Chain A
């Protein structure tokens, strides 16, 4: 006990040096805490993002397309001249029933996407420019286009339960205008007549060219072998991985199974990795600096008090007594530094953190990135029907960018505990060697020195 007492008391032996050392330690600890808080802030936001992007799993034919590309679309749209023994890849509709019966599945949504032959100009060169994107969806679900998110029905109605097998379509206002048709009119698609039951609109040009019809009708009319996608929702985020495994096991031969959270998080991780690695490096450097300071100052202390250590040993201190006393001094010193650092963190942490965030990840870059991921070329993979989560995910991305821009670095219990543990660890690590050196000093030699 007295060894501890003397150790703690000795921290104040050389006041000016102790003040200097404590200032350095406090700075290092404060900075380290900012880094730790940033790291925690980022990972908790990534976690929140993960939860908000939801429980969707996408199944698509194996190896056909990674992120849906326009090249991929070409395969799916079947030209009249294409030989029948060259079937386009697709997912059998039987999967819908099977998957719906799996544990933890709440919703299964079929999806077909293809391009209709242009009735007016069927030259191959003009096909895409004047093409009609056809989306086969489950009647009753949201109308969602790949690459554009949900569309809004502006007149008439959407596709409703009971439309299965019916030649009904909801078309974009852009197509209606171009082809001179309106609500209630008939429209020729692949040599079949459809009734226009609704008109939709979207800010995106691509979406405006979209024609929605029941997926079973689309499969039949376009003579497709199967669905271009199946979307599955798990009942909880915790279930997603297991469900993805199950689906992979079941359909791995014919399909790729991707959880939305994985593909999204992979991209988001890139956005955050620079911030994360910067803060980790900062934490490491500040720990290192603090360790060197503790070590150096304890080493000086031992040299300076060599004679005194000799006296302590002469009057009966065992090597263990010496180690405990000097170890305690080191721990008290670094703990005091850590507590001062904590105070510094409370005072200046938020300001420093926002500087670091700005330096490591310019604020506008994050929402832009998220927007690109969710709404741009790759965004189609994330399009989600059924419950409008696409918008939520997009908003989530935007919101996340904002919050990272002003990452909250508040003092939490866990942070305080880490500071204290860090102080203890640093004292132990930095003070160990000097204390052992002290314990090994030969009393006869150090007392002789004058």
Chain B
């Protein structure tokens, strides 16, 4: 029994830059099932980041529809997108993007803070996620600067998990890690899908990973090539 969690229909996004218009995405349509790991591949500049940003409500489409967990994201005004992101989306970025003066635990708890979750619950939940992401308990209070790249990315994954989002979007999460570290992070992402029933969308250049994914979307010049 599969359940559709994402539905994208005729999606287009163009940027105006200087006097020119760049069509980063054109006529993109696809559906994604819950509890799958979806790889997005494509050359640099093919529109992968743009697609992920649109799925996560970080940006608004120029045309088309995006439904996430039954919500018409394309209809949400920009001022209210933060609520959508807080409740439905988890982001993992290439450069970890942790807040440097907050501890690992505080970083993970951030989405819950913005969701006004009570402090006790927040900490408990953040600890659970950090443990699940594989950060040893004694490192929970450390600031990002004291953690290795791999550990920081574990914290980032924990942060993307903490609000129990409908989709986790990871934009080249291993792009900044060595291959051994990359493999452990990929394993972590797979375990989220296989063991915890999460839906994960991963932008990657790693063909190994792309092969293992439940599904791979190939972008070329802003168009979906194969699904």
Chain B residues whose CB sits within 8 angstroms of the CB of A321 once the complex forms: 82, 114
A311, A317, A442: the one contacting B97 at CB < 8 Å is: A311
User: CB-nearest residue of chain B relative to A13?
Assistant: B101
Closest to A322 in B: B82
What A residues does B159 contact at CB under 8 A? 315
Q: Contacts of B56 on A, CB cut-off 8 Å?
A: 314
Residues on A with C-beta less than 8 A from B97 are 307-308, 311, 447
Tell me whether A107 is interfacial, beta carbon within 8 Å.
no
Does A442 contact B59, Cβ atoms closer than 8 Å? yes
Q: Are A308 and B99 in contact (CB under 8 A)?
A: yes
Please give, as numbers and ranges, the residues of chain A lying within 8 Å of B86 by CB-CB distance. Answer: 315-316
Is there a chain B Cβ closer than 8 Å to A195's Cβ? no
Interface of A is mostly: helix
Task: Flag if B49 contacts A448 (CB, 8 Å).
Answer: yes
The answer to whether B101 and A10 have CB atoms under 8 Å apart is: yes
- On whether the beta carbons of B110 and A315 are closer than 8 Å, the reply is yes
Kindly list chain A residues whose C-beta atoms are within 8 Å of the C-beta of B91: 314-315
Is the beta-carbon distance between B114 and A315 smaller than 8 angstroms?
yes
Interface 1/0 per residue, A426-450 and B, CB below 8 Å? 0000000000000000111001101
Q: Which of B79, B93, B114 contacts A316 (CB 8 A)?
A: B114
- Cα of A28 to Cα of B142 in the assembled complex, Å: 38
B86 CB → nearest A CB, Å: 3
Work out how many contacts link A and B, with CB atoms closer than 8 A: 59
Q: Are B82 and A313 in contact (CB under 8 A)?
A: yes
- Cβ–Cβ contact A316 & B111, under 8 A: yes
Complex contact A312–B110 (CB within 8 A) = yes
B-contacting residues, A1-27, CB 8 Å: 2, 6, 9-10, 13
Interface size on A, residues (CB 8 A): 23
A319, CB-defined interface residue at 8 Å: yes
Interchain CB contact under 8 A, A444 and B85: no
**Residues 119 to 137 of chain B near chain A (Cβ within 8 Å):** none
- The answer to whether A318 has its CB under 8 Å from any CB of chain B is yes
In the assembled complex, B182 has its CB within 8 A of some CB on chain A:
no
| Option from A6, A308, A319 in Cβ contact (under 8 Å) with B82 | A319
Do A318 and B83 have beta carbons less than 8 Å apart? Answer: yes
CB-nearest residue of chain A to B90: A315
CA distance A308 to B99 in the complex (A): 7
Q: B53 at interface (Cβ–Cβ under 8 A)?
A: yes
Q: Which residues of chain B come closer than 8 Å to A443, judged between CB atoms?
A: 58-59
**B31 located at the interface, meaning its Cβ lies under 8 Å from any Cβ of chain A in the complex:** no
- CB closest chain-B residue, reference A3: B113
**B53-A444 in contact (CB<8A):** yes
Decide yes or no whether B115 CB sits under 8 A from chain A: yes
Closest-by-CB residue of A relative to B171 is A447
B163 CB-CB contact with A under 8 Å: yes
Cα-based distance from A442 to B83 in the complex (angstroms): 15
Minimal beta-carbon separation of B133 from chain A (angstroms): 15
Chain B residues closer than 8 Å to A314, beta-carbon distance: 56, 58, 85, 91
A65-97 toward B: CB 8 Å interface, digit per residue (1/0)? 000000000000000000000000000000000
How many Å lie between the Cα of A443 and that of B95 in the bound state?
15
Q: Whole-angstrom distance between the alpha carbons of A74 and B168 in the complex?
A: 103
Q: C-beta contact mask, B136-171 vs A, less than 8 Å → 1, else 0?
A: 000000000000000000000001000100000000
B111 touches A315 (CB 8 A): yes
Nearest Cβ distance between residue A7 and chain B, in whole angstroms? 12
In the bound complex, do residue A311 and residue B58 qualify as a contact, i.e. CB atoms below 8 Å apart?
Answer: no
Q: Given A444-B59, A447-B58, A447-B93, A318–B114 Cβ distance below 8 Å?
A: yes
How far, in angstroms, from A238 to B225 measured CA to CA in the complex?
Answer: 91
- Residues B58 and A316 in contact, CB atoms below 8 Å apart: no
Chain A, Cβ-Cβ closest to B115: A316
B207 to chain A, nearest CB (A): 25
By the criterion CB–CB under 8 Å, are A316 and B82 in contact?
Answer: yes
A321 to B114, CA, bound (A): 7
B163 & A316 in contact (Cβ 8 Å cutoff): yes
Q: Mark B48-91 against chain A: 1 for CB-CB distance below 8 A, else 0.
A: 01000100101100000000000000000001001101110001
In the complex, are the beta carbons of B113 and A2 less than 8 A apart? yes
Q: How far is the CA of A447 from the CA of B52 in the complex (A)?
A: 13
Contact A311–B99 (Cβ < 8 Å): yes
Q: Chain B 23-67, CB within 8 Å of chain A: the 1/0 string?
A: 000000000000000000000000001000100101100000000
Beyond known contacts A313-B85, A315-B114: 9 more, CB 8 A cutoff: A9-B101, A13-B101, A311-B99, A316-B82, A316-B87, A316-B114, A319-B82, A444-B53, A447-B58
Pairs A–B under 8 Å by Cβ, sample size 25: A13-B101, A307-B97, A308-B99, A311-B97, A311-B99, A312-B114, A313-B58, A313-B82, A314-B58, A314-B91, A315-B91, A315-B111, A315-B114, A316-B85, A316-B86, A316-B110, A316-B114, A316-B163, A318-B82, A318-B114, A319-B79, A321-B82, A443-B59, A447-B58, A447-B93
9 closest residue pairs by CB, A with B: A316-B86, A444-B59, A316-B114, A444-B58, A2-B113, A318-B82, A444-B53, A315-B111, A316-B111
